[in-house]
Structure 1
Amino acid sequence: MTKKDFFRIVIKIFGLYALLLSVLTYLPSSLSFILPDIGATEILLIAGILVLILLLYVFLIRKTDMIINLLQLDKGYDDDTIVLGNFDSLKIVKFALIIIGGMMLLDYVPDFLRYSFLAFKSEVSANGLDEFERMSYGSSIDYFNWALSGVNIVIGYLMLSNYSKIGKWLTRDDKTLGNNA
Structure 2
Amino acid sequence: MTKKDFFRIVLRILGLYFLAMVVFNYLPSIVVFFHSLPLLSLILAIVVVSLFAYIFLLLILKPDPVIRIFKLDKGFDDDALSAKRIEFVNLLKIAIIATGLFLIISHLPTFLTHLLFLLKLVVKNRNEITDHVESALLTDYISWGIKILSLIVGYLMITNYSAIARFIIKKDSEKQSDK
TM-score normalized by the length of structure 2: 0.44
Tell which structure's C-alpha radius of gyration is larger: 1
Q: Under a length normalisation based on structure 1, what TM-score does the superposition of the two structures give?
A: 0.44
